[in-house]
Structure 1
Amino acid sequence: MNLRSLKFLSSLRRDNRQFAVIGLGRFGRAVAVSLYNMGYEVLGTDIDEKLVASALNEKIATHTIRLDSTEPIALKEAGIYEFDTVVVAIGNYVQESIITTLNVKEGGVAHVVAKASSQIHGKLLERVGADQVVFPEYEAGCALAYTLTKPAILDRFDLDPNHSIVEVLVPEEFDGKTIAEIQLRSHYGLTLLAVAEDEETFQINPLPNQRLVKGAAMVVLGSNKDIKKLPI
Structure 2
Amino acid sequence: MKSLNFLNNLRRETRQFAVIGLGRFGRAVSGTLYKLGYEVLGTDIKESLVAQVLNEKIASSAIQLDSTQPNALKEAGIFEFDTVIVAIGNYLEESIVTALNVKEGGVEWVVAKASSKIHGKLLERVGADLVVFPEYHAGCELAYTLTKPAILERFDLDPDHSIVEIWVPEEFHGKTIEELNLRNRYKINVLATGKEDKFKINPTPQEKLDKNLVMVIIGSNRDIQQLPI
TM-score (norm 1): 0.84
- CA displacement at 1:28 relative to structure 2: 0.9
Match of 1:205 among 201, 205, 215: 201
- Equivalent in the alignment of 2:150: 152
- The count of corresponding residues between Structure 1 and Structure 2 is 225
* C-alpha spacing 1:26/1:159, structure 2 compared with 1 (3 Å): same
- CA displacement at 1:113 relative to structure 2: 1.0
- Equivalent in the alignment of 1:117: 115
1:223 aligns with 2:212: no
Question: What is the alpha-carbon distance in structure 1 between the residues aligned to residue 35 and residue 124 of structure 2?
Answer: 29
Alpha-carbon RMSD across the aligned residues, in angstroms, is 2.5
Deviates more, 1:222-231 or 1:176-185: 176-185
- Identity, % of aligned pairs? 67
Q: Secondary structure at the match of 2:145?
A: helix
- CA displacement at 1:65 relative to structure 2: 1.6
Q: Deviating runs (4+, > 4 A) in structure 1?
A: 6-9, 178-181, 206-211
Match of 1:13 among 7, 10, 13: 10
Q: Secondary structure at the match of 2:122?
A: helix
Within 5 Å, give how 1:183-198 maps onto structure 2.
183-197=181-195
Question: What is the alpha-carbon distance in structure 1 between the residues aligned to residue 30 and residue 103 of structure 2?
Answer: 20
Structure 1 spans left out of the alignment, 5+ residues: 1-5
- CA displacement at 1:78 relative to structure 2: 0.8
The answer to whether the 8 A contact 1:23-1:88 is kept is: yes
- CA displacement at 1:40 relative to structure 2: 2.2
The answer to whether the 8 A contact 1:101-1:129 is kept is: yes
Structure 2 spans left out of the alignment, 5+ residues: none
- Equivalent in the alignment of 2:160: 162
Question: What is the alpha-carbon distance in structure 1 between the residues aligned to residue 183 and residue 18 of structure 2?
Answer: 42
Match of 2:102 among 88, 101, 104: 104
The answer to whether the 8 A contact 1:194-1:202 is kept is: no
Within 5 Å, give how 1:57-72 maps onto structure 2.
57-72=55-70
- CA displacement at 1:107 relative to structure 2: 0.9
Deviates more, 1:58-67 or 1:201-210: 201-210
- CA displacement at 1:9 relative to structure 2: 8.2
Question: What is the alpha-carbon distance in structure 2 between the residues aligned to residue 189 and residue 118 of structure 1?
Answer: 32
- CA displacement at 1:210 relative to structure 2: 5.7
